[in-house]
Amino acid sequence: MKHTWYREGVVYQIYPRSFQDSNGDGFGDLPGILSRIPHLRDLGVSIVWLSPVYASPNDDNGYDISDYRAIQPEFGTMEDMKALIAGLHQAGIRLVMDLVVNHTSDEHPWFQASVRNEPRYRDFYHWKTEKGNWTSFFGGEAWTWNPERKAYYLHLFSKKQPDLNWDNPEVRQEVKDIMRFWLDLGVDGFRCDVINLIAKADGLPNGKPTLILQGKEHYLNHPKIHAYLSELRDDVLSHYDCFTVGETAFVSPKTALTYISENVRELDMLFQFDHMAADCHFVKWFPKPFRPINLKRPLTRWQEGLQGKGWNSLYLENHDQPRSVSRFGSEAYHKESAKMLATMIFFQQGTPFIYQGQEIGMKNADFPNLSDYQDIETQNMYRTGRKLLLLSHEQMMRRVRRASRDNARTPMQWDASPNAGFTEGKPWLKVNPNHQSINVAADREDPQSILAFFRTIIALRKLHPVIVYGDFTDLLPKHRRIYAYRRILGDTVLTVLCNFSAKTTKIPRFPGAGGGQMILGNYPLGSPELLRPYESQVWMNTKK
């Protein structure tokens, strides 16, 4: 693969609302992020992805934008934004913004003009006089009646997130102008929100009856999308030194290559979700017990599927997913399992994405009461589950505690003080009580901490190109507890061994096993014979 900064880099995702408050109002903000650049620099990350900070009525915490060129006052001002870009760049860190253009807020002036039927805006959104049968990602119907326009409009997410009509060239022109605005301000790329949903089938036909996302066959990876994305690439992206990562649920490696292969490059990489179904049926609101094989299998499939043709993104967490150590790790082996999971994912081929708090092993919020959760998806899914699936309050609360997006959105745990060092005021969402032991300050004191381990992984990645570019082979695809894989670049061989269980497990013999030097492990002194509970080892070797 061609060598580029975004392939070699490590990305850190910031959810601004929950990262650092600077003025005591309980909401994280841009000056707060600026003040935490030393943390990012210590960690060694080279790119920040910032979740939306644009003007928004906050129906979906900023993923409903009412002005793409303005900063939400809670987060600060445009001057703060410029200071953050400069501060990050000075620290050698690039900045990627969230680009949310499948939909706007219903409070965006375009939607309001469309409601009034103003000629330029009439077709900016999807309108129908008869109600369609598609359902929303957040539960419930995706078509809502607007009494003023006397028609139904489409919203794949909340009612306050109407979908833009990408068939309209004026819409695409507007999006390109927004992209240029931010690139000219100095940002280094975009994380493109739900980008594989933007193209909808002509006439918006009704969908086949199904429990999950009725209508999806009419918009997921619709063929028209390639014309739209190559237009953005040719007219905007190709003129800047930037990169894009598309958020694309429901893609296979084969479909992925139609977006990211070297000769297409509509996007530089994408987020796939197959491994996020390791503990659920399809979507996390239908839970099933976690089995390591269900995490290994999709990850290996993606490694093999893109090998030599496209570039993977590597992640276990983001602002929509419960905490990885709570899902795939262990309470009893908190530190070991957090480190093992980091080893498992970040030694694969691709660009690693760390979500704030993952570097100290933050756990799920697991709040007991529905009223503790603010997320719109959580509240809608609770109602949908009670009404449509006829589940009891207790049954639904079990799902909420496990699946809610607020599990990842509790304030960043900086220290052991009452609000975890996040705010001097009342935090917008409760701080996890475990911040007394799980926090950045404590980890900084401890050379064996999870934070120190992340720092080491990032440093090793800078030292050894095999970690970035090496070929991948799964060594034990059928093993139920151990994930073992190999990376090879030139004559350097890396062997990664991860135990996903609390049982000490003998390492089976595989061709060319053992030997070399252990460059990383989450226990002192690893043995090449066996793996202790949640143990991980990385061995480096030279081919003879």
Write out the catalytic residue numbers. 193, 247
Q: How far is the CB of 285 from ligand ISL (least distance, A)?
A: 8
Q: Which does 21 bind (CB under 5 to 8 A by kind): Ca ion, ligand ISL, none?
A: Ca ion
Any contact of residue 45 with ligand ISL (CB under 6 A)?
no
Q: How far is the CB of 404 from ligand ISL (least distance, A)?
A: 8
Task: Tell me which amino acid residue 318 is.
Answer: N
Q: How far is the CB of 196 from ligand ISL (least distance, A)?
A: 10
Q: How far is the CB of 319 from Ca ion (least distance, A)?
A: 18
Inter-residue long-range contacts of 413-419, CB under 8 Å, 24+ positions, other chains counted: 413/357, 413/360, 413/362, 413/438, 413/439, 413/440, 414/20, 414/439, 414/440, 414/441, 415/439, 415/440, 415/441, 415/442, 416/441, 416/442
Q: Which does 98 bind (CB under 5 to 8 A by kind): Ca ion, ligand ISL, none?
A: none
Q: How far is the CB of 86 from ligand ISL (least distance, A)?
A: 27
Question: Cα separation of 333 and 501, whole Å?
Answer: 10
Any contact of residue 194 with ligand ISL (CB under 6 A)?
yes
> With the CA atoms of 152, 155, 160 and 161 taken in that order, what torsion angle do they form, in degrees rounded to the nearest 10?
-140
Q: How far is the CB of 61 from ligand ISL (least distance, A)?
A: 7
Q: Which does 333 bind (CB under 5 to 8 A by kind): ligand ISL, Ca ion, none?
A: none
The radius of gyration computed from the CA coordinates of the chain, to the nearest angstrom, equals: 23
Read off φ and ψ for residue 354, nearest 5 degrees: -105, 130
Do residues 409 and 429 touch, judged by C-beta distance below 8 A? yes
Give the residue, chosen from 15, 54, 63, 315, that forms a contact with ligand ISL under the rule CB under 6 A. 63
Give the residue, chosen from 405, 435, 461, 486, that forms a contact with ligand ISL under the rule CB under 6 A. 405
Binding site for Ca ion (CB under 5 A): 21, 23, 25, 27, 29
Q: Which does 100 bind (CB under 5 to 8 A by kind): Ca ion, ligand ISL, none?
A: ligand ISL
Residue 73: which of 24, 20, 27, 19 has the closest Cα?
Answer: 27
Question: Which of residues 29 and 64 has its CB atom nearest to Ca ion in the complex?
Answer: 29
| 3-state SS class at 489 | strand
Phi/psi-derived region of residue 62, left when phi > 0, alpha when psi is between -120 and 50, beta in every other case: left
Q: Which does 25 bind (CB under 5 to 8 A by kind): ligand ISL, Ca ion, none?
A: Ca ion
β pairing state of 143-146 and 517-521: unpaired
Question: Which of residues 407 and 449 has its CB atom nearest to ligand ISL in the complex?
Answer: 407
Q: How many other β-carbons are positioned within 10 Å of the β-carbon of residue 516?
A: 15
Question: Cα separation of 303 and 55, whole Å?
Answer: 38
Question: Which of residues 32 and 357 has its CB atom nearest to Ca ion in the complex?
Answer: 32
Subset of 271-290 contacting ligand ISL (CB under 6 A): 284
Q: How far is the CB of 74 from ligand ISL (least distance, A)?
A: 17
Give the C-alpha distances (Å, rounded to integers) separating 331 from 134, 243, 324, 338, 520.
40, 37, 12, 10, 23
Copy the structure tokens of residue 240: 């800047």
Give the C-alpha distances (Å, rounded to integers) separating 265 from 229, 232, 234, 239, 311.
9, 11, 10, 14, 11
Question: Which of residues 268 and 320 has its CB atom nearest to ligand ISL in the complex?
Answer: 320
Q: Which does 137 bind (CB under 5 to 8 A by kind): Ca ion, ligand ISL, none?
A: ligand ISL
Question: Which of residues 82 and 398 has its CB atom nearest to ligand ISL in the complex?
Answer: 398
210 Cβ contact partners less than 8 Å away, ≥ 6 residues apart: none
Site string for ligand ISL, 362-381 (x = CB under 6 A): ---------------x----
Please tell me the chain's helix, strand, coil percentages from 3-state DSSP, rounded to the nearest 5: 35, 15, 50
Any contact of residue 496 with ligand ISL (CB under 6 A)?
no
Any contact of residue 137 with ligand ISL (CB under 6 A)?
yes
The count of chain residues that interact with ligand ISL, using the rule CB under 6 A, is 14
Q: Which does 80 bind (CB under 5 to 8 A by kind): Ca ion, ligand ISL, none?
A: none
Give the residue, chosen from 157, 166, 355, 500, that forms a contact with ligand ISL under the rule CB under 6 A. 157
Question: Which of residues 27 and 190 has its CB atom nearest to Ca ion in the complex?
Answer: 27
Any contact of residue 320 with ligand ISL (CB under 6 A)?
yes
Q: How far is the CB of 22 from Ca ion (least distance, A)?
A: 6
Q: Which residue is nearest to Ca ion (CB)?
A: 29
**Residue 359 DSSP symbol:** G
Copy the structure tokens of residue 536: 């991980």
Question: Which of residues 35 and 527 has its CB atom nearest to Ca ion in the complex?
Answer: 35
Question: Cα separation of 341 and 498, whole Å?
Answer: 8
Question: Cα separation of 184 and 474, whole Å?
Answer: 43
Give the residue, chosen from 45, 81, 88, 100, that forms a contact with ligand ISL under the rule CB under 6 A. 100
Do residues 324 and 341 touch, judged by C-beta distance below 8 A? yes
Tokens 């014979």 label which residue?
Answer: 529
Q: How far is the CB of 418 from Ca ion (least distance, A)?
A: 17
Question: Which of residues 193 and 359 has its CB atom nearest to ligand ISL in the complex?
Answer: 193
What b/e string do you get for 259-290 counting C-beta neighbours within 10 Å, with b at 16 or more?
bbeeeebbbbbbbbbbbbbbbbeebbbeeeee
Question: Which of residues 27 and 333 has its CB atom nearest to Ca ion in the complex?
Answer: 27
Give the residue, chosen from 213, 232, 249, 429, that forms a contact with ligand ISL under the rule CB under 6 A. 249
Provide the binding-site residues for ligand ISL, judged by CB under 6 A.
60, 63, 100, 137, 157, 193-194, 247, 249, 284, 319-320, 377, 405
